[in-house]
Structure 1
Amino acid sequence: MSPQHDVPAAPRRVAKHRLKRRSSNRRTQLIGITAALAAAAGTTAVGVSSSASGPSTASTGLSPAQADALTAARIDRRDLGSRDASRIDLSLAATRKAAAEKAAQARAARLAANATLTQRRAAALAAAKKAAAQKAAAQARALAAAKAAAIAKAKAAAKANVNKVVLPTTGYHLTAHFGQAGGRWARDHTGLDFAAPIGTPVRSVMAGEVIQAAYAGAYGRQVKVRHADGTVTSYSHMSEFDVSVGDMVSAGEQVGAIGMTGNTTGPHVHFEVLRGGETQIDPEPWLRDHGVNP
């Protein structure tokens, strides 16, 4: 072979050797970078040996420095995950605590509002009861006062009515007087005769109690009334009775009506006054003494 063909061959062999070495270094760097990235992502399948005999570079293609870096990255990743989990747990605990405190505050507010409402209702109820009691007491006092006034008025009226005297009938004329003699009577006349049309009302001259309402022979239908002072007045020859024994009558209240029952010659009422309920006295002066003039 000539020298012109041997000289250029040496540089080509050097270039191939350098290219091979450069490719091996690049491959190692790529494997290291890939392993580090995989470790950071937590998905590497590359095995790392930290035994005393040193790393197995044949299976991983990592240098001891790269293996240590990978181990440190994985530890950092684990610690970072632990710190993140702790922070999340603490954040959740704080959130729950805040929510619990807020719920407790809301519950306390509701309880306070309910207590205030209960107090207001109790106060309103007490005020209403007090007002009702005061109103009832006022009504009771008013009723008692009205009752007392009515009783006083009734007593005054009764007292005045006890002494009140009226004539036994109206539209009359006198036909016989007390003590008058005549053939119509077995003895002198014992009363005062008020003649009036049949059916004319006959009235009690004073307030009192009816002690007789019956047919009495020659007196015909007769009513007797006993008054507060013990005096008894008698009404005879009536056509009807308007009261019964035991009735309480006032002055001027009707006890019967003019008639012709018993021994009589015409319609009239025979009126008598019996002092103490027994002794017959002249009715005319008795009526005048009580303020009426027959």
Structure 2
Amino acid sequence: MSEAGRTAPRRTPAGARRVAKHRLTSRRSSVRGVQLVGLTAALAAAAGTSAVALSPSAGPANAGTTSTSSAQLEAMTAARVERRELASRDMSRFDMSLQSTRKAQVDAAAVAKARAAKLAANATLTQRRALALATAKAVAARKAAAAAVAEAKAKAEAIAEAKAAPKVVLPTTGYHLTAGFGQAGGRWASNHTGLDFAAPIGTPIRSVMAGEVIQADYEGAYGRQVKVRHADGTVTSYSHMSAFTVSVGDSVQAGDQVGAIGVTGNTTGPHVHFEVLLGGEQQINPKPWLSEHGVNP
């Protein structure tokens, strides 16, 4: 075919090109609109919101709608970020609250443990005090019982000793009689008023019966003299002593020492001049009186 016969290229009128370009732009806008709708739906689904339906076939008239959808997307994204921040703050607060609760529980457990330990210590201390008190009471009871036994034993021994002790004894030992009651002679101004028990100087002189010492003094011709009053009012007298071993007011038992044999006063040798005075005044023969009380000089 000759070049002349070839068909000349078609020239698209300017109006047709503008229509085609507008269609291409609309098609691209539609694609973008579809993509934006898909992205918005995905974000809305993630954020828990409903996507706004955008029509891809709206054409150029939907350009304002696309801008509106972008603003909504930004708002939803901001809302999503805010919710995340709120959730993060809530989680932080929850963690802090949980930590505070756990700390309070730990503190309460520590306080309870301390109280339990204190109660246990108090119970132990109370138990120890009770044990110590019981022990002290037991010791005191044993001591009281021992003291009672000792006292009873002492009383029994005293009673036994009193029963065993002689009620009447002779005024001295290792003696020999050198003068009797009523005896006369140049050695005395009048008849002899007692019994003379001669023994070495220093030989103990004893009270013949229990009684109270009513005199312990130097008495003229009697020398050092002791007198003892007995329960029945009888008084016994011991003279010519070398020393006293009692004082006025002393209580004596039968056999207790009241002095020692000597040569004080009017005497020819060491002896004790022994007298018995009924009622404290009437001189009687000591020999029968001693015999009546169970001893014989």
* Aligned pair partner of 1:201 in 177, 201, 204: 204
1:242-278, Cα deviation, whole Å (9 max, x unpaired): 2221112233322222222222222211112223333
- Higher mean displacement: 70-79 or 81-90: 70-79
> RMSD of aligned C-alpha atoms?
3.4
Partner of 2:57: none
If the length of structure 1 is used for normalisation, what is the TM-score? 0.69
1:218 and 2:221 equivalent?
yes
* Aligned pair partner of 2:135 in 131, 150, 170: 131
Q: C-alpha displacement at 1:178, in angstroms?
A: 2.2
Percent sequence identity is 58
* Aligned pair partner of 1:94 in 92, 98, 110: 98
1:185 and 2:188 equivalent?
yes
* Aligned pair partner of 1:74 in 67, 78, 83: 78
Q: C-alpha displacement at 1:168, in angstroms?
A: 1.8
Provide the rounded CA distance (Å) in 1 between the counterparts of 2:84 and 2:263.
Answer: 139
Letter in 2 for 1:108: A
Letter in 1 for 2:107: A
1:145-182, Cα deviation, whole Å (9 max, x unpaired): 43344345435544654x53332223322111223332
Provide the rounded CA distance (Å) in 1 between the counterparts of 2:119 and 2:204.
Answer: 78
Provide the rounded CA distance (Å) in 1 between the counterparts of 2:243 and 2:128.
Answer: 68
1:5-32, Cα deviation, whole Å (9 max, x unpaired): xxxxxxxxxxxxxxxxxxxx9xxx9xxx
Assess, with a 3 A threshold, how the Cα gap between structure 1 residues 210 and 219 changes in structure 2: closer, same or farther.
same
Partner of 1:140: 144
Letter in 2 for 1:204: S
* Aligned pair partner of 1:114 in 118, 132, 137: 118
Assess, with a 3 A threshold, how the Cα gap between structure 1 residues 160 and 224 changes in structure 2: closer, same or farther.
farther
Partner of 2:176: 173
SS at match of 1:225: strand
Provide the rounded CA distance (Å) in 1 between the counterparts of 2:241 and 2:76.
Answer: 145
Provide the rounded CA distance (Å) in 2 between the counterparts of 1:104 and 1:146.
Answer: 62
Q: C-alpha displacement at 1:132, in angstroms?
A: 2.2
Structure 1 unaligned blocks of 5 or more: 4-24, 30-35, 41-52, 56-61
Count matched residues.
Answer: 243
**What are the within-5 Å matches in structure 2 for residues 9-24 of structure 1?**
none
Provide the rounded CA distance (Å) in 2 between the counterparts of 1:263 and 1:71.
Answer: 153
1:154 and 2:158 equivalent?
yes
Q: C-alpha displacement at 1:100, in angstroms?
A: 0.9
Provide the rounded CA distance (Å) in 1 between the counterparts of 2:106 and 2:222.
Answer: 108
Assess, with a 3 A threshold, how the Cα gap between structure 1 residues 158 and 229 changes in structure 2: closer, same or farther.
farther
1:108-139, Cα deviation, whole Å (9 max, x unpaired): 23223322322332233234224323433443
1:180-208, Cα deviation, whole Å (9 max, x unpaired): 33232333322211112223222222222
If the length of structure 2 is used for normalisation, what is the TM-score? 0.68
Assess, with a 3 A threshold, how the Cα gap between structure 1 residues 195 and 224 changes in structure 2: closer, same or farther.
same
* Aligned pair partner of 2:89 in 71, 85, 93: 85
SS at match of 1:239: strand
Provide the rounded CA distance (Å) in 1 between the counterparts of 2:242 and 2:129.
Answer: 69
Letter in 2 for 1:111: R
